[in-house]
Amino acid sequence: MKKSSATNLPIYKDPALPAARRVKDLLSRMTLEEKAAQMMCVWQKKSETLVNGDGSFDLRKAKATFKKGHGLGQVGRPSDAGKGKNAREMAELTNAIQKFFVQNSRLGIPVMFHEECLHGQAAIGGTSFPQPIGLGATFNPELVESLYAMTAEEARVRGTHQALTPVVDVARDPRWGRVEETFGEDPHLVTQLGLASVRGFQGDASFKDKKHIIATLKHFAAHGQPESGINCAPTNVSMRLLRETFLQPFKEAIQKANAISVMASYNEIDGVPSHASEWLLRDVLRKEWGFKGFIVSDYYAIWELGYRPDTHGHFVARDKKESCALAVRAGVNIEFPEPDCYLHLVELVRKGVLQESQLDELVAPMLFWKFKMGLFDDPYVNPDEAARLVGSEKNRKLALQAARETITLLKNTNNLVPLNPSKIKSIAVIGPNADRELLGGYSGRPKFYTSLLEGIRSKVGDRVQVPYCEGCKITVGGSWNQDLVTPSHPEEDRKLIQEAVKVAQQADVVVVAIGGNEQTSREAWSRKHMGDRTNLDLVGRQQELVTAMLSTGKPVIVFLFNGSPLSIQYLHENVPVIFECWYLGQECGHAVADVLFGDFNPGGKLPMTIPRSVGHLPAFYNYKPSARRGYLFDDVSPLYPFGFGLSYTTFTFKNPRLAKNKIRRNESTRLLVDVKNTGRRPGAEVVQMYIRDCVSSVTRPVKELKGFQKISLRPGETRTVALDITPESLAFYDIHMKYVVEPGEFEIMVGNSSCDSDLQTVILTVK
C-alpha cells in the first residue's frame, strides 16, 4: 500500500499532497462497487436510509442501508429532512451524516451535500432575495455576486457543498413556467449575471475559508425556449442560434468564471436528449470548452431517457439499464436525486456493456472537488456559527437592497408617484397579492417576510389610514408545491370586488397588488403538476377588480407580482401608475414602501420583453430583420421593450462617440456617452449598448445588447460612461460556421432601453 513518505499516511489521506495525486491514489484503492456508489445520491429516501421521523440522523437505518461500507456520493437537500431543519439543526444533521460515512465506509470517503439556492438557500431561515428574473431587472452584476456570496456562506455553514444554481438558461417564451428562474431573454445579460453568480458562489474556488460552495450551471442546454412553451419539450433551434444564444452563457461561465459543475437539461436538441448527448456533454462541453468539472443529472432525467409514466419519456432507451449506459457514455458523472438507473452500473461493467475505466473517468473529478473542498481533512461545520450567521440582519439589508433595485416603474402619468404621505389621509390597499407571502418557486421559509400591506402600514405608521381588502383571489390556496390548481370562484370574487369598491371610495389613493402567484407560472414537473400557460392574461377576475377601482375616480397605482411577463394592455391604457416587481423576496413590503413614498428611486429595467398578447409571441427584442413586418388589425411592437424602466428623475444621453471610428478585425475600441441627471432627484440609470452588423454573410439580429453599465447620478450631475467594444462584441458564426468578425459597418447604439426611440447611433467601420 502506497504511503506518503512525509506522514506515513496513505497518499490520499495526506492533506499536504496535491488533490490530483490524492485522487489517483484513492481511485487505485477503490472497488468497482465503491466507484459506483460515488455516482449515486439520496434525497427523499433519506427518510428510509439516514434519518428518523423527525429528520434526525438515524444510526440504525444508516448501518442497515450502508452495511457493505461502499459509501455514497451525495446527499440531496438535508435541509428538508423531516419537516425541515433550521440552521443549527441542519448543521448538526450534516455533521452526523458526514461522520457516519467517514467512519463507516471502507476508505472513509466523505459525502457531498447539495441544496437548491436559486434566490437564497431554499431552507428554513435562509435569507430570501428576489427571483433571478428580478435580479435581471437590476442590471447589477456586483449586487448579484454579493447576493450569491451571501447565500454560499449561509449554505456552507450549514454543511452544504454544492448549489444547484445558477440557472443560465436564456428565456425566450414567457408561456414557459420557469421564466422566473432565469435572468431574462438576452444572452449577454444572462452571461454577465451568470458570471457574477458563479464568482459569488465559488470565490477563488480554493474553498479554504469554508464560505463558498460549488456552483452548478443549469440547464444544459437550450431549456429556455421549449416547443409550445411547455416545460421539458423539445428545443427546435438551429445550430447557429444554439451556439450564439443558448450555449454562450454556459461557455463563458466555464471559461471565465471556472464553474465547477453543470446540470444537463430535460429537453432534447435535434432528437437527442441532453442526458444522452455525447456531442453536447463531451464534444462541446469538455473537448471544445475545456470543462474539467462534473456533470450532474437533473432529477430523474436519466430515467426519462426511457419512459417515466408520471411525466414523459424520450424512448431512446428500452429500460433503466439502457438509460444508465447512455448517460455514462454521454458523461453524466452522478445521478440525481436517488439511486435509480445507476444502480445497474456494477452489473453493466461486469457484463462488458460498460468499462470500469469509464467509471474511473466520471468518479475522478467528483473526488477531486471533495479533496479541494477539504472534506477529507475538515468535513464538519459549527452549529453555533450556523445559528448566528443564517438570516442575519446584515444579510437582510442586502436582500432589501436587491428588492429595491428590482422594482421597475413602467408608467407614471403626471408623476403621480412617489406619494407624499403628508398630503394623504388614506391609502386603500387592494388585491390578492397585497397581503400574502410571494416568494416564487424553490423558496425556503425565511426568518422574515413583509407583505406589501405590512410594508406600507409600517412606513406611514399612524399618520395615514391604510384600509385593506383582498378584492378577489387568483387561485385558491396558491402553494407552489400543491399539484392541483383551483381557480377562484367568480361570484365570490365579485362580492370581494364590491367590498373593495366601498373601501376604495373612502380613500385618497388606491394601491392594487395583482399579477400571478406561485401556481399560475411555475415549473411543470409532472402531468399532475402543471405550470405553463396558453395565455399571458391576468388570471381570474383581476382585470375586473382594476376596472372597479378605476370606476371610483380615485388615483390607482398597480404593483404587479409575477414570475413571467403578463399581457397587460388594459392596464397600460387605463391605469396611471404601473410597477413590475416580479418576486421581491423576504423584504417585499419594505422595498415597495420605500419606492412608493420616494425613499428609494426605482431604477429597474425589464430583463424580458412584455408582449401585447400571447399572439405576439415570440416577442424578444433581438429578432431577425424579416421577423416583425406587422400584423393585420394589431400593432407588432411590444407593450414594453426589453431594457425599459422609468425613474422619478430624468436622464439625457449626449455626444455618443467612439474612441476609434475605424478598427481592424482583431482590434478593440470604446463607446463613450455623456449621461446627465436632468431631474430633481438622485437616481440610477442603466446605460445600454446595442450593436448591429449592417451587412453580413448570414442574417443578424436587428440589435444585440453587448454592454451595459449601471450608474448613479445626483441632480445636475453628468458622467461620461465608456463601454468596451471588443472582437467578441462583433463576432458571430458566419456562413461557414466559423466564429469570426466580418469587415464592414456596424451600428453602435446607446440609450436606456432597446426601443429605437430611446437609442442614439454611431457607425463603427471594421477593416
As a whole number of angstroms, the distance between CA 409 and CA 22 comes to 55
Which residue, 429, 589, 418, is CA-closest to 507? 429
Instruction: Give the residue-averaged pLDDT of 226-243.
Output: 96
- For residue 527, how many other CB atoms are within 10 A of its CB? 11
What would the grid cell of residue 541 be?
Answer: 377576475
Q: How do residues 322-366 score in pLDDT, each as one tens digit?
A: 999 999 999 999 999 999 999 999 999 999 999 999 999 999 999
Which residue, 739, 665, 671, is CA-closest to 705? 671
Q: Would the pLDDT of 5 be above 70?
A: no
Give bridge partners of residue 693 from the DSSP assignment: 746
Which CATH number does 651-766 carry?
2.60.40.10
Q: Would the pLDDT of 117 be above 70?
A: yes
Q: Would the pLDDT of 38 be above 70?
A: yes
What residues contact residue 487 under an 8 Å CB cut-off, 6+ apart?
Answer: 475, 476, 539, 540
Give bridge partners of residue 576 from the DSSP assignment: none
- Please state the pTM of the whole predicted model: 0.97
Catalytic residue among 298, 493, 532, 693: 298
- The predicted pLDDT at position 520 comes to 96
Q: Residue-wise over 202-214: b if at least 16 C-beta within 10 A, else e?
A: bbebebeeebbbb
Q: How do residues 456-497 score in pLDDT, each as one tens digit?
A: 999 999 999 999 999 999 999 878 989 999 999 999 999 999
Q: Same fold for the domain at 393-605 and the one at 651-766?
A: no
Cis? peptide before 221, omega within 30° of 0:
yes
> pLDDT > 90: what percent of the chain?
98
- The predicted pLDDT at position 594 comes to 98
Q: How do residues 151-160 score in pLDDT, each as one tens digit?
A: 999 999 999 9
- The predicted pLDDT at position 478 comes to 78
- The predicted pLDDT at position 20 comes to 98
Q: Would the pLDDT of 557 be above 90?
A: yes
Q: How do residues 714-746 score in pLDDT, each as one tens digit?
A: 999 999 999 999 999 999 999 999 999 999 999
> How does residue 8 score in pLDDT terms, banded at 50, 70 and 90?
confident
Q: Would the pLDDT of 1 be above 70?
A: no
End-to-end CA distance of the chain: 64
3-state secondary structure of 620: coil
Enumerate the domain spans of the chain. 1-28, 393-605, 651-766
Q: How do residues 694-718 score in pLDDT, each as one tens digit?
A: 999 999 999 999 999 999 999 999 9
Which residue, 486, 483, 538, is CA-closest to 515? 538
Instruction: Give the residue-averaged pLDDT of 232-248.
Output: 97
Instruction: Give the residue-averaged pLDDT of 71-86.
Output: 97
Helix H or strand E encompassing 655: strand 651-658
Grid coordinates 414537473 are at which residue?
525
Q: How do residues 610-630 score in pLDDT, each as one tens digit?
A: 999 999 999 999 999 999 999
Q: How do residues 392-433 score in pLDDT, each as one tens digit?
A: 999 999 999 999 999 999 999 999 999 999 999 999 999 999
3-state secondary structure of 654: strand
DSSP character string of 153-206: HHHHTTT--EE---B------TTSTTGGGS--S-HHHHHHHHHHHHHHHHTTS-
Give catalytic status of residue 310 as yes or no: no
- The predicted pLDDT at position 2 comes to 75
Q: Would the pLDDT of 598 be above 70?
A: yes
As a whole number of angstroms, the distance between CA 481 and CA 478 comes to 9
Specify the CATH architecture of the domain 393-605. 3-Layer(aba) Sandwich (3.40)
> How does residue 6 score in pLDDT terms, banded at 50, 70 and 90?
low
How far does CA 158 lie from the centroid of its chain?
22
CA distances from 340 to 41, 314, 363, 574 (A): 9, 17, 17, 55
Helix H or strand E encompassing 763: strand 759-766
